[in-house]
Structure 1
Amino acid sequence: MKKLLIISPYFPPINAADMQRIRMSLPYFSSHGWEPAVVMVEPEYTDLPTDTLLNENIPASVTIHQVKALPKKWTSKVGLGSIALRALWFYKRKVNQLLKSEKFDLIYFSTTQFPVLILGPYWKKKFGVPYIIDMQDPWRSEYYQDKSKIERPKKHWFSYRLNKFLEPIAMQKVDGLISVSKGYLDTLTERYPQLNDLPKRIITFAAFPPDFETVRKHRAEFNLPYLKTASNYNFVYVGRGGHDLKQAAEILFSAFQTGLKAHPRLFKHARFHFIGTSYAPKGEGVATIQPIARQMDISTYVNEQTDRLPFYQSLFTLDNADHLMILGSEDKSYTASKIFPYILSDKPILAFFHSESSAAQIISECQAGTVIPLEEDAIHLQKIVYEYLHRALLGRQQPAKTDWKAFENYEAFNMCRKQCEVFNEVIANAERKNG
């Protein structure tokens, strides 16, 4: 059994999207010949919400190591909030100890807390252990460079320049890449031609059916984050907001405006709920969907809650919606881990993506919902969405007949197998070089 050291600053009970790949893979690594151990940041040093139920499906045999971080109450005074930067020195010290005392065959960075990745080349040089990076998001992204200041994330000026400096350090000696998007790999290989010869694999996020078993087991512990009445028809979205979702929101809301004018007695029963739209600490999130609704004079029908929900609370919310909607970006590299819980809820799904994005292709391949292709003419799309909403409110838009056999390809067992295939290829390459 080969030994895998996983670097994931956020990990259960922390409710963070970028630890889900690892959480869902942990039950299956041993089946594919790998014994995993995880190094995480102690939860007390993070400001993200927790969900203790996330620990339920983590095998007891998996060793979890924890590191400290500089307290944010100190570092925030100089504008430093990144958990990766605050924990960097502690990671270096802890993993040095582990690599001195145990033999690990591979280090696996699976996180969007990118600065910690610069430790990969350091550990490789010091201990001779190869490392793989899992690109769940772009690190150095050019997306916001031509956007207005109001559309850019907070501290974009600093983070963009830091990312531009750190990314090549991590990429210089990396031994393999996994990514949720072909676009991310294409961008990296264009920037760093030496990556062309490395093992690389596009592996989407995974579906994990046991999560819905957990939700239904603990059903009595949850409450809906919105009022559900017999007269209202609730369209629900659980996931991040952001200015890159503006196009999708405007198409949806314009279609709804058309419906209000054409069939006011029917469309007035619709309610659109956008929940957990900000990664900011509780109470500090800035709404990005509600202002669009307010500008279009339909805010009465739109509810945005920026605070994130505990993970299983979010699944419970999906499981009790009348209808699900997924807002995505017009960027064809955009991917979304949330599509699998949406599909597993077995509800009608209206999704807004570029048709070439992995999220759109998965929904289409599994026949799990309706995709609105954001690259097409907006006026044409508004008409399609209006007709869709009309059918839904009349009770004529049934759940898609999901192809569950096709869906099995995306379940965590198979996604874990694909990761391990890349691990094995990296190890084989390293043995050839050293032999």
Structure 2
Amino acid sequence: MKNRRERRPRVLYMAFYFPPSRASGVYRARATANHLAEKGWDVTVCAAPLDFLYDVIGSVDEGLSQTVDPSIRVERPSLNQYSWQQDLREFSWLRRSFPLVAKRVYEFSQEKIFPERYSSWAWASVKRALKLHTRKRFDLVVATGNPFASFAGAWLFHKLTGVPYVMDYRDSWTLDLFHDKPAFPEGHPAWTWEKRMLDQASAVVFVNEALRGWHAERYPEVADRMMVVPNGWDADVLPEGHDQLVARTAEAQEEVRPLKFAYLGTLTVKQPVEEMAEAFKIARRHPDLADAELQIHGHLGFFKNSPGALKSRLGLDDGPRPEGVEDTGLRYCGPVSKTEVGNVYDEADVLVFLAGGGRYVTSGKIFEYMAFGHPIVSVHQPGIAAQDVLAGYPLWFNANSLDIEELAASMVAAGKAARDLTPDQRAAGRRHADTYTREATLIPFERRLREIVEA
């Protein structure tokens, strides 16, 4: 019989967006669960129900599920989909028979119980976890937000069982990252809930120092339990033969061909897409960028109705370009499977880092960008947190502005650097990126979790 020391620590990981979801935070959740499993943890994940991912938001990447450690147990508690339902046939008996009563019940749950529409999933997760806990106890709960109901679930499970919990802020709940101001008015239930959950947490994690600092200032009594665990890049993003391709960079420069700029990621309405498109149009007038293309790889938005609006903002029309209309060089190349992401990066000459939001935004994609050693051109507000990560990257081209002419000039400079790029320069970029591998960023986090369990 194994004694206490030989028993693997058991963690309940509350991560609503987990593969096959393709939400922006899924790579952090996948990496965290895989890392803990690799380090000897017994990992159980509570994630979103599949019908919500497939039928409601239509946001999935089947290939991601194959990259989850097979030892990880994934539970998918139910979610009340009241606010997403449009089809009368999907309504519950109560909503069909007494729609006003059903509305009042739902509004009461949002106003008086927990102010987020994912809260029913959190309570269902606690119920499921309690059953699992009676069979084999959990030593720790890690909850990642958004949705922030996961934090409430961790708090409730702690109240019922005494099991400690850790809060991982992938985003901020009460800080509007796109306008750098509080997301709720004073007196809103979100503030009460956030303080309640933070007070009882054994550790609180943020993706960058700016976010940690904002929360530490608002909740000074919890500051000593706060830490930064930055995002990072995953080793499986590098395609087979990548290192040999880097070594052939000098040979590739001998072939004069139109430059290929690339953006890879989910495009959203929060990003300065018009500025990027207009700046690239201007940059193409420079002889060094003659016939250059800006290829956009990924999904247009997170929801089914997003693509139309984004295509319009980019000036991308379906069908052939009318005669006499200027070619802007923008190409939408569609979604990319996880197995092909590395090839997209490798085949690019310049990577465009397009990001929305203000000073508290890092963005997970920038870590992958750096791993490939290409020139990176920034298109975002000046002063965002991602600049702290990019500051040591030797091939970073930053206009530090959203002025169209200045953005175009930085694109031209990045294109010239791509023409003259050497293997040594790419290697220097990779050395900077190596400080942000998932392994490097998650080691201190896993160590802290063990300390909590041992205490």
TM over 0.5: yes
Q: Give the Cα–Cα distance (whole angstroms) in 2 for the partners of residues 197 and 231 of structure 1.
A: 54
Contact 2:282-2:405 within 8 A present in 1 as well: no
- Paired AA for residue 232 in structure 2: A
In structure 2, what is the equivalent of residue 108 of structure 1?
142
- Residues 271-420 of structure 1 correspond to what in structure 2 (within 5 A)? 271-276=293-298, 278-285=300-307, 287-288=309-310, 291=313, 300-303=328-331, 309-329=336-356, 331-352=358-379, 357-367=384-394, 369-372=395-398, 374=400, 378=403, 381-382=406-407, 384-388=409-413, 391=416, 395-396=419-420, 400-403=425-428, 404-420=430-446
Overall identity of the aligned pairs, in %: 16
Structure 1 gaps of 5+ residues are 148-155, 217-229
Contact 1:69-1:83 within 8 A present in 2 as well: no
Q: Give the Cα–Cα distance (whole angstroms) in 1 for the partners of residues 27 and 359 of structure 2.
A: 22
SS state of the match for residue 35, structure 2? Answer: coil
In structure 2, what is the equivalent of residue 8 of structure 1?
15
Contact 1:257-1:298 within 8 A present in 2 as well: no
Larger deviation, residues 248-257 vs 327-336: 248-257
Question: How far apart are residue 101 of structure 1 and its match?
Answer: 2.6
Contact 1:251-1:378 within 8 A present in 2 as well: no
Structure 2 gaps of 5+ residues are 1-7, 88-102, 108-115, 243-255, 317-324
In structure 2, what is the equivalent of residue 96 of structure 1?
130
Match of 2:292 among 263, 270, 276: 270
Cα offsets for 1:233-276 (capped at 9, x unmatched):
43111224445532x8637733641652x54xx64512223343
Distance 1:63 1:382, change over 3 A: closer
SS state of the match for residue 67, structure 1? Answer: coil
Question: How far apart are residue 65 of structure 1 and its match?
Answer: 2.1
Question: How far apart are residue 292 of structure 1 and its match?
Answer: 6.2
Distance 1:146 1:320, change over 3 A: closer
- Paired AA for residue 124 in structure 1: H
In structure 2, what is the equivalent of residue 142 of structure 1?
176
Q: Give the Cα–Cα distance (whole angstroms) in 1 for the partners of residues 16 and 278 of structure 2.
A: 38
Q: Give the Cα–Cα distance (whole angstroms) in 1 for the partners of residues 42 and 241 of structure 2.
A: 28
Contact 1:235-1:271 within 8 A present in 2 as well: yes
Match of 1:60 among 40, 63, 70: 70
In structure 1, what is the equivalent of residue 234 of structure 2?
208
In structure 1, what is the equivalent of residue 247 of structure 2?
none
Work out whether 1:422 is the aligned partner of 2:448: yes
SS state of the match for residue 42, structure 2? Answer: strand
Distance 1:258 1:44, change over 3 A: closer
SS state of the match for residue 172, structure 1? Answer: helix
Q: Give the Cα–Cα distance (whole angstroms) in 1 for the partners of residues 337 and 82 of structure 2.
A: 22
Residues matched between the structures, number = 396
**TM-score of the superposition, structure 2-length normalised?**
0.73
**TM-score of the superposition, structure 1-length normalised?**
0.75
Cα offsets for 1:332-391 (capped at 9, x unmatched):
321111123223344433234567655333334353x314152x6948844741541552
Cα offsets for 1:172-217 (capped at 9, x unmatched):
322211111112112212222221232x22111122112334899x
CA RMSD of aligned residues (A): 3.9
Question: How far apart are residue 10 of structure 1 and its match?
Answer: 1.8
Question: How far apart are residue 95 of structure 1 and its match?
Answer: 1.6
Cα offsets for 1:278-335 (capped at 9, x unmatched):
44323434545852668xx977333457x75444444443333343211124623211
- Paired AA for residue 140 in structure 1: T
